[in-house]
Amino acid sequence: MFRALFLMLILLAGLIAGPYLAGKQGYVLIQTESYNYELSLVSFVVLFVVCMAVVYGIEWLVTRFCRLSNNTYNWFNRRKRVKAQKQTLEGLMRMNEGDYSKAEKLIGKNAKHSDEPILNFIKAAEAAQQRGDEFAANKYLIDATEIAGSDNLLVELARTRILLQQNKLPAARSSVDSLLVLAPKNAEVLRLAVDIYKKSKAFVALDGIIEQVEGLYSDAEYTALLREMEDGLLDEKMNEEGADGLLAWWEAQSRKRRNDNYVRIGLIQRLIDCNDHESAYELTLETFKKVEDNKALSSALYSQITRLQPIDSTKLIKLLEKRAAHSPEDAACCINRALGYLQVRNGDFHKASDAFKKVLANKEQMKQYDATMAAYVFEQIGDLVKAHEIREESLKSAMAIKETEKTEEKLTAL
């Protein structure tokens, strides 16, 4: 700007000096409707320079005023940001201490002036939810959404967590389904989906993401989650469609799941619950040899065998007899129990009595109804003395257990 002014001054100086040097100084005529103004060239140049000086002076004053206003605004704005930062830090400390009411006020009060207003609104919403104020929590989430937009992952995650805390499972389920579309591989989204699906018993939906979450949990946690989901799927099919639905579902499963002996035993249990003993029996024969080396699964299978009531159990009885002859004492007890129950249902009480004698010899592994069934078996073969002894011993054990429980209750009370 000053360069242009300098050039104009040089140009004007040339216009003034030129006529003087040539002896032809002119004049300037300014004519309006009512007046005529005549100025010498020198006067016009002086007037022009004065006007330019006035214009530049006004510009300087306006610039200084605007700069002063801007500095003032920045000072106030900076002061608000510093204050908001201090309040945010103090609010987070209060939140960790459990003072959610104070934390909400500190974090939410100057949230718009903080460095990360979205995070402030989210934390304020969480604090409000912790103290049970759902209205305030939703309001903070709305404020965060206005700043971040509706597709912001951080805000939607916070909204879904709060919906879960409010126990609004249908809304939380809908929200997490949208999150899985928005960020299907995000670890936090997957963890949240697992929590919501488990709580809402949406085991089919959980089955759809179970392979993706494997690396997010320890081996033990993942196995427990997998078992819970598989049990949930089986219960859901059993309750909705019965034995036919269970068998149709089983046929549609992958080879990996069909080879999972835990699911096989779970299916056997539910087929028995549905009174489909023949299908359960066939599946038991298929599973019997596959769980031989797994003590926990073997015990679970033997427990289900005690409930089986097939038309012909001869093949399974032979398998049990063969395994009982080559099994250690602790495993043989479970096998003999299953063998005894099957033989009772076949009406072969003499063989059943031999099996129950071995069960009774291992008192540590006896179960609730073993003594009752054993007494019934000995009555059927005419050994009333033995049956009476078993009932008396069972009664004494039950009374001893009750006395122990009463003593423990008294000690606990004291």
For the entire predicted model, the pTM comes to 0.69
Worst-scoring range by mean pLDDT, 148-162, 258-272, 293-307? 148-162
* Phi/psi of residue 186, nearest 5 degrees: -70, 130
Residue 102 has pLDDT above 70, yes or no: no
Q: How far apart are CA 180 and CA 207, in angstroms?
A: 14
- Reference 198, options 171, 175, 166, 230; nearest CA is 230
- The domain limits of the chain are 312-398
Rounded to 5 degrees, φ, ψ at 348 are -95, 80
Q: Which amino acid is at 184?
A: P
Look at residue 196 in the predicted model and tell me its pLDDT: 93
Please indicate whether residue 282 or residue 413 has the higher confidence score (pLDDT): 282
d(CA 101, CA 178) in angstroms, rounded, equals 31
Rg (CA), the chain: 44
226: pLDDT strictly greater than 90: yes
Q: Is the pLDDT of residue 371 over 50?
A: yes
Could you tell me the pLDDT band of residue 96, with boundaries at 50, 70 and 90?
low
How would residue 80 be classed by pLDDT, with cut points 50, 70 and 90?
Answer: low
Residue 6 pLDDT: 59
How far is 383 from 360, CA to CA, in rounded Å? 15
The rounded mean pLDDT for the chain is 77
For the domain bounded by 312-398, which CATH number is listed?
1.25.40
- pLDDT exceeding 70 applies to what percent of the chain? 69
Whether the Cβ atoms of residue 107 and residue 124 lie closer than 8 Å to each other: yes
Lowest mean pLDDT across 129-133, 169-173, 276-280: 129-133
Quote the tokens at residue 105.
């006020």
